[in-house]
Structure 1
């Protein structure tokens, strides 16, 4: 039905349609984010469709990874292979019967034809065209207009044909793009739309599936600009309503090359979880790659850019015209900064819960930690949170709190920095701390409970004032005894968490080894 001024546009339906050919690409999340933002703003639907017609590169575990990583990012879909929906099935391999009538119609109407050319013949054709530097390359239509019998008499014949589009000389090459305005693509050749194995190619399947699933907006990477005239031809030949197109800029490395899974580990969507990034930080980062910061009024009424924002905020103000068509640089430094911001903004108990799987995987904590072990983790988390940038960087800082007090592993560099006066420093520290009680109460009436403030006061009095040492010299041996490291979470707070007994055992153990 034609939309008029009095007839509102229907709720938009958008989709992301990755191929399960390996670890999900970060570009899939990038595309999903922008599709989902528009759909949510306008009360539409977001569809996840799996385009698994490339059987040579298909990987069975890839689909599960795709579901898992997109769900981890909170980019949830309304319809898909795992949740179903009114247009199921949502895997192309389960929709083969759907495509056949469309192919037959194109053949009957003279818009497509069978091609029996062998792979070797096509390879030779390409080599010839490249050698002669022809201005127009592509298939030479040797099979067009021939019967199987006629074609079989010619060289380079294959028993099983493919089906090709018959692209007219006057094919329209211009089309409107929501991000880029009017675009013009190069003339396409006679594209294969059904392969010899009976599976449709992307070009036919994407048109048929988008139509049958009611997709109103096709949002994809700019590498598909050159294919859009082919797709528009298919829509027109088949008498189908055309969706609106938006071609997103490609994610690029610093040298402007396209990010690839073969060369860039960060191209794998699973890499970000492995490296300890928070999903909300990654979503924020991906939005900034193609979209400007949020503009709001400052205290003096001036316009201020805000780079930290939620998906809800991003979706609420989303407009295609704001998308930057220039390929963004994938700057991990910016992502690290964002990740630190989000980590510091978490409630301590929430951060501890997010750290737990990483700490279990590293063997720092058991699979099912006790309440006491998790309680200690929350206390340690509060110490390391202000300077933590990745969840995976917490392990070395947390591990010393979960080792036997008489067997703290001491790093070589920590032991090497101990001076000749380390035994005397440890002796004085032990004596000073033995005077503090185990609880936080002031049972002596002298303000000497086992708190970090009282621990620091006692040690400063004994080592800095009593022995005349500089704090760095005075507290270095204590840090080594407590954590086994040169750099650790705040020393006195660590002693408070460990408690009086554990602290003294660690100090005495290092002292005995000197």
Structure 2
């Protein structure tokens, strides 16, 4: 059975690059009817915090990535948090010592550094020189009497390794690439390259997908698998996600954590869809894909070995598609917090059945102008307030000598109109006025839009008028006329 895992460190907000790794591992497991495991690597005690563990699980659930085994749901190979597995690491370290594959090392950092500099001066690789490999029991006791606390070092194999990587292809690790390396620190905590092998081995992980910044670690891990007499999992090392400047994606490029994308109102379906396209492409060339479709189409042979560039514009295109296509009632539930954030309407009002038709009508009208739900706040102002600002781009049209005439004619026409002003009625009114005034195009329509919304772009006026009502529309046109007459 295919078993994949996602093993984050809870040291901060989860990065979209890490989530992409989780997504690919999830998709591959589900495609093959396998299991997806969540494991928390929290042995960096100084930086790991429980709040980050809870937050990353919340973010993964929000994205729709659920796990079959993990810290919260358990499973047959737990615990699934490394800090709860310390006795397991010690047990296997002792086994390696007993078999002559590891040993206690009492060298101080100063001694190791001095040895490293000597080897570099001689033009040799700065590997640990193995001086503690053959210590006698009495020598060990003498070091311990000095107060030295040992690390446990693994005896590196002196051989070449060849990795058949499903993304990178054949990767060669020459003999002598690494010397004896630490697997247990002096404080008893395991190092990454050791703990990850013990965990993947005991949890029966069959496929490991991760960033190619881990590729150089793999030779050490292959050595530990060899010492355990175990078959390594299939490895796939994916190129990192880069920013638009082709540097590793970071906060300087903009939003990077799942929590930030969530707070800005990106729909989880949209973010998941976009992340799948970072380093993978569908066999039929489609880019708009649901999670179920991703599961159906995903396979490792379409993972790219080239770095993926995070394109915020493309994310916005995908996100807008999901906002437009989502059923209105569901979108409304997602959008309520962003209505409330404006401070112009309360959640109680938004939940009031008597008012919901208006708010849902507003959302339905403006959703096509939004790449994320936080964008609705830019449009709500002219639906919920009468003191909305007039944007700078409107000024040239306010200075046209025909603008007061257009506004006055529209005011009189609207005031006299007894029908509901829908699209057909508005177009009829507009045609009559343009003919009477000799004004057409932008010079006619934009003054009306500016009076009603303060903007030169956005939803059509004939969609806005039924929502705000005739009296508000008249008051807004009159207000702008007065401002123009006063010279403002």
TM-score by length of 1: 0.84
Report matched runs for 1:297-336 at 5 Å.
305-336=285-316
Aligned to 2:476: 506
**Counterpart check, 1:39 vs 2:21:** no
Instruction: Rate the CA distance shift 1:264–1:188 in 2: closer, same or farther, 3 A.
Output: farther
Match of 2:361 among 368, 375, 379: 379
Instruction: Rate the CA distance shift 1:135–1:365 in 2: closer, same or farther, 3 A.
Output: farther
Distance 2:443 2:268 in 1: 41
Aligned to 1:344: 324
Structure 1 stretches lacking a partner, 5+ long:
1-10, 296-304, 438-447
Q: CA deviation at 1:208?
A: 1.5
Residue 76 of structure 2: SS of its match in structure 1? coil
**Counterpart check, 1:164 vs 2:153:** yes
Match of 2:416 among 432, 435, 439: 435
Q: CA deviation at 1:211?
A: 2.2
Q: CA deviation at 1:339?
A: 2.2
Aligned to 1:444: none
Q: CA deviation at 1:416?
A: 6.3
**Counterpart check, 1:268 vs 2:268:** no
Aligned to 2:164: 176
Instruction: Rate the CA distance shift 1:263–1:159 in 2: closer, same or farther, 3 A.
Output: farther
Q: CA deviation at 1:153?
A: 7.8
Distance 1:126 1:456 in 2: 83
Residue 10 of structure 2: SS of its match in structure 1? coil
Instruction: Rate the CA distance shift 1:148–1:509 in 2: closer, same or farther, 3 A.
Output: farther
Aligned to 1:475: 445
CA contact (8 A) 1:221 1:249 kept: yes
Aligned to 2:435: 465
Task: List per-residue Cα deviations over 1:295-334 (Å, max 9, x = no partner).
Answer: 2xxxxxxxxx322222222222333222222222333333
Residue 163 of structure 1: SS of its match in structure 2? strand
Report matched runs for 1:3-152 at 5 Å.
11-126=1-116, 132=121, 134-146=123-135, 150=139
CA contact (8 A) 1:45 1:78 kept: yes
Instruction: Rate the CA distance shift 1:134–1:276 in 2: closer, same or farther, 3 A.
Output: farther
Distance 2:309 2:392 in 1: 40
Distance 1:158 1:19 in 2: 32
**Counterpart check, 1:363 vs 2:343:** yes
Q: CA deviation at 1:256?
A: 4.1
Aligned to 1:441: none
Residue 367 of structure 2: SS of its match in structure 1? helix
Aligned to 1:494: 464
**Residue range with higher mean Cα deviation, 97-106 or 205-214:** 205-214
Aligned to 1:199: 189
Distance 1:194 1:362 in 2: 53
Distance 1:49 1:283 in 2: 21
Residue 24 of structure 2: SS of its match in structure 1? helix
Aligned to 1:426: 407
TM-score by length of 2: 0.88
Q: CA deviation at 1:210?
A: 1.4
Distance 1:505 1:476 in 2: 17
**Counterpart check, 1:214 vs 2:192:** no
Distance 1:400 1:135 in 2: 72
Distance 2:127 2:266 in 1: 45
Match of 2:242 among 249, 252, 276: 252
Distance 1:265 1:149 in 2: 58
**Residue range with higher mean Cα deviation, 246-255 or 389-398:** 246-255
**Residue range with higher mean Cα deviation, 133-142 or 489-498:** 133-142
Residue 79 of structure 2: SS of its match in structure 1? coil
Distance 2:270 2:114 in 1: 50
Q: CA deviation at 1:44?
A: 1.1
Aligned to 1:400: 382
Instruction: Rate the CA distance shift 1:101–1:500 in 2: closer, same or farther, 3 A.
Output: same
**Counterpart check, 1:185 vs 2:155:** no
Structure 2 stretches lacking a partner, 5+ long:
none
Instruction: Rate the CA distance shift 1:379–1:221 in 2: closer, same or farther, 3 A.
Output: same
Distance 2:162 2:392 in 1: 67
Residue 148 of structure 2: SS of its match in structure 1? strand
Instruction: Rate the CA distance shift 1:236–1:153 in 2: closer, same or farther, 3 A.
Output: same
Residue 164 of structure 1: SS of its match in structure 2? strand
Q: CA deviation at 1:126?
A: 4.6
